[in-house]
Structure 1
Amino acid sequence: MGTGAGRGTLLAAILASGMVFLDSTVVNVALPRLGADLGATVAGLQWTINGYLLTLAAFVLLGGALGDRFGRRRVFLLGVVWFAAASVLCGLAQDTGWLVAARFLQGAGGALLTPGSLAVLQASFHPDDRGRAIGAWSGLSGVATALGPFLGGWLIDALSWRWIFFINVPFAVGVILAALRWVPESRDEDGTRAGGTSRRFDVAGALLGALGLAGITYALIDAPARGLGSLPVLAAALVGVLAAVAFVLVERRRGETAMLPLGLFTSRLFSVLNMFTVAVYAALGGFTFFLAVYLQNVVGWSALETGLATVPLTVLLLVGSARAGALATRIGPRLPLTVGPVLAAAGLLLLRRVDRGASYWADVLPGVTLFGIGLTLVVAPLTASVLAAVADRFAGVASGFNNAASRVGNLLAVAALPLLVGLSGGGYEQRDELTAAYRGALAWCAGLLLAGALTAGLFVRRPPRPAPPSQPCPSLPASTPPDAPG
Structure 2
Amino acid sequence: MATPSETGSLPPGRFVRYRWWGLLAISLGVAMIIMDATIVSVSIPSIVADLGISSTEIQWVQEIYTLLFAALLLTWGRIADRVGRRRVMLTGVVIFVAASLLCAAASSGSILILGRAVQGLGGSMILPTTLALLNANFQGRERGIAFAVWGSTIGGMAAVGPLVGGWLTEHASWRWAFGINVPVGVVILAGLLLFVAESKEEISSAAQRLDLGGALLSIVGFGSLVFGLIEGRSFGWWRPADDALLQVGPLSPVPLAFLLAAVALVCFVLLERRRTNEGKGVILDLSLFRIPSFANGNVTALIVSFGEFGLILSLPLWFQNVLGYSAFQAGLALLPLALGSFLASGGVTSLARIFRPVVVVRMGLGLEILAIASLALLIAPDSTAWLTSPILLVYGMGVGLATAQLTSVILADVPVAKSGQGSATQSTARQTGSALGIAVLGTAFFTTLRNGTEDRVADAVANAPQLAGVVDSVNATSGGSIQALAADPQTAFIADAAREAMTDGASLASWIAAAALLVGLLSSLRIRQAASTVPGGSGPAGTPSGGSEPSGAASPGQEK
Structure 2 counterpart of 1:112, from 122, 125, 146: 125
Q: Secondary structure at the match of 2:476?
A: coil
Q: Which moved more, 1:380-389 or 1:341-350?
A: 380-389
Asked whether the equivalents of residues 264 and 390 of structure 1 are also in contact (C-alpha less than 8 Å), the reply is: yes
- Structure 1 position 169, deviation (Å): 0.9
Which residue matches 2:180? Answer: 167
Classify 1:45/1:279 alpha carbon distance in 2 versus 1 (closer, same or farther; 3 Å). Answer: farther
Map of 2:391 onto structure 1: 367
1:231 aligned to which of 243, 248, 254: 248
Contact 1:155/1:164, CA 8 A, preserved across alignment? yes
1:425 equivalenced with 2:469 (yes/no): no
Q: Relative to 1, partners in 2 of residues 1:171 and 1:455: Cα closer, same or farther, differing over 3 Å?
A: closer
* Cα distance in 2 between the residues matched to 1:359 and 1:41: 33
How far apart, CA to CA, are the structure 1 residues paired with 2:269 and 2:356? 33
- Cα root mean square deviation, aligned: 4.3
Deviation at 1:170, TM superposition (A): 1.3
Q: String of CA shifts for 1:371-393, please: whole Å, max 9, x gaps.
A: 33443453345334434687887
1:90-109 aligned within 5 A: 90-109=103-122
Q: Which runs of 5+ in 1 are unaligned?
A: 482-486
In structure 2, the CA distance between the partners of 1:391 and 1:132, relative to structure 1 (3 Å rule), is: closer
Q: Where do 5+ consecutive residues of structure 2 fail to align? A: 1-11, 451-474, 483-494, 545-553
Q: Check if 1:246 corresponds to 2:264.
A: yes
Deviation at 1:238, TM superposition (A): 0.8
Q: CA deviation at 1:108?
A: 1.0
Opposite residue 248 of structure 2, the aligned amino acid is: L
Pairwise CA distance, 1:158 = 0.6
Matched-pair contact (CA < 8 Å) for 1:72–1:187: yes
Cα distance in 1 for residues equivalent to 2:171 and 2:259:
45
Q: 2:508 matched to 1:457?
A: no
Shift of 1:81: 1.2
Render the CA deviation track for 1:178-214: whole Å, top value 9, x for unaligned.
Answer: 545665554333358xxx9666333123322223322
Query: What is the CA-CA distance between 1:83 and the residue it aligns to?
Result: 0.4
**What secondary structure, in the 3-state scheme, does the structure 1 residue paired with 2:79 have?**
helix
1:243-269 superposed Cα distances (whole Å, 9 cap, x missing partner) = 332222222221245434455556777
Partner of 1:63: 76
Query: Cα deviation per residue 1:71-122 (whole Å; 9 max; x = unaligned)?
Result: 3333222111110111122223345444333222211101112233344455
2:34 & 2:304 partners in 1: Cα distance?
19
Equivalent residue in structure 2 for 1:353, among 357, 380, 390: 380
Q: Distance in 1 between matches of 2:443 and 2:54?
A: 13
Distance 1:370 1:177, change over 3 A: closer
CA distance, structure 1, for counterparts of residue 27 and residue 246 of structure 2: 47
Structure 2 counterpart of 1:426, which letter?
T
Equivalent position amino acid for 1:429 in 2: G
Instruction: State the alpha-carbon separation in 1 of the partners of residues 153 and 523 from structure 2.
Output: 35
Q: Determine if contact 1:340/1:378 at 8 Å carries over to the other structure.
A: no
Decide whether the 8 Å contact of 1:57 with 1:407 is kept in 2.
yes
- Residue 336 of structure 1, aligned match among 363, 383, 387: 363
Matches for 1:22-61 after TM superposition, within 5 Å:
22-35=35-48, 37-38=50-51, 46-61=59-74
Identity of matched residues, %? 30
CA–CA distance in structure 2, aligned partners of residues 270 and 177 of structure 1:
33
Preserved contact between residue 205 and residue 258 of structure 1 (Cα < 8 Å): no
1:397 aligns with 2:397: no
Farther off after superposition, 159-168 or 66-75: 66-75
Change (3 A) 1:142 1:291: closer
3-state DSSP class of the match of 1:66? helix
Decide whether aligned partners of structure 1 residues 340 and 39 sit closer, same or farther in structure 2, where only a CA change above 3 A counts.
farther
Question: Structure 1 pair 410/455, CA: closer, same or farther in 2 (3 Å)?
Answer: closer
Asked whether 1:379 is paired with 2:403, we answer: yes
Comparing 110-119 with 230-239, which one deviates more in the overlay? 230-239
| C-alpha distance 327-55 of structure 1, shift in aligned 2 (>3 A) | farther
Q: TM-score, normalised on structure 1?
A: 0.79
- The answer to whether residue 18 in structure 2 is matched with residue 6 in structure 1 is yes
State the distance in 1 between where 2:372 and 2:340 align. 16
Q: What secondary structure is seen at the aligned counterpart in 2 of 1:81?
A: helix
Is the 1:270–1:389 contact (alpha carbons within 8 Å) kept by the matching residues of 2? yes
1:74-473 aligned within 5 A: 74-120=87-133, 123=136, 125=137, 131=143, 134=146, 138=150, 145=157, 150-180=163-193, 185-190=198-203, 200-201=210-211, 202-208=214-220, 209-223=222-236, 224-226=241-243, 231=248, 234-255=252-273, 256=276, 257-262=281-286, 273-321=297-345, 322=348, 329=356, 332=359, 336=363, 339-350=366-377, 352-355=379-382, 358-361=383-386, 363-376=387-400, 378-387=402-411, 397-420=421-444, 421-422=446-447, 424-431=475-482, 432=495, 433=498, 436-437=501-502, 439-454=504-519, 456-457=521-522, 460-461=525-526, 462-463=528-529, 464-465=531-532
Distance 1:330 1:287 in 2: 25
Alpha carbons 2:368, 2:394 under 8 Å: kept: no
| Contact 2:80–2:129 (8 Å) recurs in 1 | yes
Q: C-alpha separation between the residues in 1 aligned to 2:397 and 2:542?
A: 38
Shift of 1:283: 3.0
**CA distance in structure 2 between the partners assigned to 1:434 and 1:228 by the alignment:** 29
Change (3 A) 1:20 1:227: closer
Q: Distance in 1 between matches of 2:60 and 2:378?
A: 25
> What is the alpha-carbon distance in structure 1 between the residues aligned to residue 412 and residue 106 of structure 2?
44
SS of residue matched to 2:18: helix
For 2:406 and 2:282, how far apart are their aligned partners in 1?
A: 24
SS in 2 for 1:82: helix
CA contact 2:86–2:129 (8 Å) conserved in 1: yes
Structure index of larger Rg: 2
SS at match of 1:17: helix
Indicate conservation of the 8 Å contact 1:283/1:446, yes or no: no
Could you tell me which residue of structure 2 aligns to residue 484 of structure 1? none
SS of alignment partner, residue 514 of structure 2:
helix
Distance 1:73 1:170, change over 3 A: same
The secondary structure found in structure 2 opposite 1:301 is coil
C-alpha distance in structure 1 between counterparts of 2:307 and 2:195, whole Å = 40
- What do residues 403-431 of structure 1 show as CA deviations (whole Å, max 9, x unaligned)? 22222222233344444433653243122
Secondary structure of the corresponding residue to residue 353 of structure 1? coil
Q: Which shows bigger deviation, 173-182 or 289-298? A: 173-182
Contact 2:376–2:508 (CA under 8 A) maintained in structure 1? yes
Distance apart, 1:289 and its partner CA? 2.3
Q: Which amino acid aligns with 1:443?
A: L
- Give distance in 2, aligned partners of 1:266 and 1:245: 23
Distance (Å, rounded) in 2 between the aligned partners of 1:338 and 1:407: 18
Displacement after TM superposition at 1:172 (Å): 1.8
Amino acid in structure 2 at the alignment position of 1:67: A
Distance in 1, matches of 2:518 and 2:511, equals 11
| 1:71/1:187 contact within 8 Å kept | yes
Count of residue correspondences: 471
